[in-house]
Amino acid sequence: MESGTVETSTTAVNGSNESSDPPPAERIEVLNPANGQTVDSIEVDTPETIAATVARVRANQAEWEAMGIEGRYHWLGKLRDWILDNGEQIADTMQAETGKVRGDIFMDLGYVADLINFYGTKAERFIGDETVRPHSALVASKKLLIRYRPHPVVGVISPWNFPLAMGLGDSIPALQAGAAVVVKPSEFTPLSLIKVIKAWKEEIGAPDVFDCVHGTGEAGGALIDNVDYVQFTGSDRTGRKVMARAAETLTPVSLELGGKDPMIVLSDADVDRAANAAAWGGMVNSGQLCISVERVYVEEPVYDEFVAKLTKEVSGLRQGADGRKPEKDVGAMTSPNQSAVVEDHVNDALANGAKALTGGKRGDGPGDYFEPTVLVDVDHSMKVMRDETFGPVVGVMKVRDSEQALELANDSRYGLAASVFGEKARAERVARRVEAGSVNVNDVIINMAAMGVPMGGWKQSGIGYRHGEPGIKKYCRIESTVVTRFAGKREPSWYPYTKARRGLVNRISQAVNARDLKRRLGLRG
């Protein structure tokens, strides 16, 4: 079997079996993309088992919510400690299911620990009760409160590129907000998350408000049908289906979708830094990162120098599998479907006049690899500059000036993230005009670690945000509370409607709403 392929099998006894026992569940084999070998297999959930899991955590959610922000941080803090204490073992599992090199794993583990602390310490500020001053004399005597109450059960549907940063990462603010969470991880990479959730339940002994279910798109659909809020991370193609399915039950969604992130290199950039950033930003996690650098626009005066330095850096990268000791730079392609996309984009570019200065084809087996690739002589008629490649490939174009760079950078249906390299003030001015949810100046990908600022896609890169205040508020419903402090037996606006009472109401309304003295006194202007 091709490495990384998801193989589903039904091991049910055939139709001649008259027993009333339910047939054995369908299973999915999880394969190591670095060598094609089976790592483990998992049971596929049915719509019934998914509904039952959601119902079970739903039953415990009210108690979880009632624990308050500190009470929930207590348990999430224990999870952080468990992750920190068991980092090597989790990394072993993640390496086996993804084919990542060891050096790429820190992005998952460090991120989730940081995220737990971020929301644990900021949640009170972001979603604590707010008191609002009454805006008008009509409600001046009332106490006005905004409370952020969680959607009871959040369904998280996650991709294969960062099994914990996405599957667990998107669960953390939801749990901190007081929701129960059920995750459907990618069918390609469910094992790291299974390990964490097992620890949550068995080793940490945390409340039963966090679980996962398994399967392909069908399981994702069943989860959507049962939860109160959907956090989806994946391709824009699937994002559309998720939104349509959620529309059937009017379930709100947040969608973190694909990108085609541009980098702009201005003539006054530190070219060494820009080239090293493009190499790491384009190849990290084998380019399987939604905010990886996919296309680069370089101002003419520094183009040759940039391309030479980028090519040297990329061609020196060590590709392959390593173990606990980080000995390689670029790992495997986690999903075999993705290798086919990458190959198609590169071949399309090469067939239409592009040149590969390094790489350009699949790596030699065993395992599923694509060589780190730098393409030049590319243009926007080519897939590699238009569609999400999601592989270790960057296309580089020479541009006349920053205006042309911006025009090309913004010529995309995506708008997830971007980077601009150059003299700080000038680069910042250019960054303001890039159409993307996050722009890094003189750095790449770092916005993912800057949790104080929201991260979300413009255009077809998504709806909603993770990180910052919006990243936890989205999991909450606003409950406005209006408390009457002083009151008689009835209000002037209540029954009975008599002439005198209506007159009083009208006079009060006029006095409150008029902005000039004459009208306030009940006279015409």
From the list 26-34, 52-60, 126-134, 154-162, the region that binds ligand NAD by CB under 6 A is: 154-162
Q: Tokens representing 33? A: 């993309």
| Dist CA 2 CA 179 (whole Å) | 39
Is 65 one of the catalytic residues?
no
Among 35, 46, 49, 216, binds ligand NAD (CB under 6 A): 216
Binding of residue 261 to ligand NAD (CB under 6 A): no
CB nearer to ligand NAD: pick between 51 and 511: 51
| Dist CA 96 CA 448 (whole Å) | 24
From the list 191-199, 212-220, 339-347, 438-446, the region that binds ligand NAD by CB under 6 A is: 212-220
CB nearer to ligand NAD: pick between 71 and 217: 217
Among 104, 256, 294, 371, binds ligand NAD (CB under 6 A): 256
Q: Tokens representing 376? A: 């030049």
| CB atoms inside a 10 Å sphere around CB 67 | 15
Shortest distance (Å) from residue 235 CB to ligand NAD: 4
494 backbone φψ class: left, alpha, beta (φ>0; ψ -120 to 50): beta
Alpha-carbon torsion (222, 251, 127, 289), positive or negative: positive
Shortest distance (Å) from residue 489 CB to ligand NAD: 55
Residue 26 burial (C-beta neighbours within 10 Å; 0-12, 13-18, 19+): middle
Binding of residue 382 to ligand NAD (CB under 6 A): no
Phi, psi of 356 (to 5 degrees): -95, 115
Shortest distance (Å) from residue 447 CB to ligand NAD: 11
Among 169, 207, 331, 457, binds ligand NAD (CB under 6 A): 457
Is 407 one of the catalytic residues?
no
Query: Residues 276-305 vs ligand NAD: string with x where CB under 6 A?
Result: --------------x---------------
Among 238, 319, 373, 438, binds ligand NAD (CB under 6 A): 238
Sequence-ordered list of residues with C-beta below 8 angstroms from that of 301, at least 6 positions apart, any chain: 267
CB nearer to ligand NAD: pick between 204 and 450: 450
| Dist CA 38 CA 2 (whole Å) | 11
Binding of residue 388 to ligand NAD (CB under 6 A): yes
* Site residues (CB under 6 A) for ligand NAD, limited to 60-79: none
| Dist CA 261 CA 446 (whole Å) | 13
Among 32, 95, 171, 186, binds ligand NAD (CB under 6 A): 186
Number of residues that bind ligand NAD (CB under 6 A): 30
- Which residue among the candidates 256, 299, 371, 388 is catalytic per the annotation? 256
Query: Residues 403-442 vs ligand NAD: string with x where CB under 6 A?
Result: -------------x--------------------------
| Dist CA 491 CA 471 (whole Å) | 41
CA–CA–CA angle 117, 288, 35 (5° rounding): 105
Phi, psi of 488 (to 5 degrees): -95, -160
| CB atoms inside a 10 Å sphere around CB 224 | 25
CA–CA–CA angle 515, 518, 519 (5° rounding): 55
CB nearer to ligand NAD: pick between 182 and 275: 182
Among 36, 281, 462, 468, binds ligand NAD (CB under 6 A): 462
CA separation (Å) from 298 to 172, 262, 395, 421?
A: 39, 11, 11, 9
Cβ-contact 28, 7 below 8 angstroms? yes
Shortest distance (Å) from residue 413 CB to ligand NAD: 12
Phi, psi of 319 (to 5 degrees): -105, 145
Binding of residue 234 to ligand NAD (CB under 6 A): yes
From the list 20-28, 63-71, 238-246, 345-353, the region that binds ligand NAD by CB under 6 A is: 238-246
Shortest distance (Å) from residue 127 CB to ligand NAD: 22
Among 107, 157, 333, 445, binds ligand NAD (CB under 6 A): 157
Sequence-ordered list of residues with C-beta below 8 angstroms from that of 145, at least 6 positions apart, any chain: 129, 130, 131, 132, 480, 481, 482, 483
Q: Which residue is nearest to ligand NAD (CB)?
A: 220
Shortest distance (Å) from residue 409 CB to ligand NAD: 17
CB nearer to ligand NAD: pick between 319 and 335: 335
Pairing relation of β-strands 130-132 and 38-43? Answer: unpaired
Among 220, 372, 415, 454, binds ligand NAD (CB under 6 A): 220
Among 390, 421, 458, 465, binds ligand NAD (CB under 6 A): 390
Single-letter amino acid code for the residue at 193: L
CB nearer to ligand NAD: pick between 148 and 390: 390
Helix orientation angle between 87-98 and 68-85, rounded to the nearest 10 degrees: 80
- Which residue among the candidates 290, 294, 299, 371 is catalytic per the annotation? 290
Binding site for ligand NAD (CB under 6 A): 157-161, 166, 184, 186-187, 216-217, 220-221, 233-235, 238, 241-242, 256-259, 290, 335, 388, 390, 416, 457, 462
* Residues with catalytic roles: 256, 290
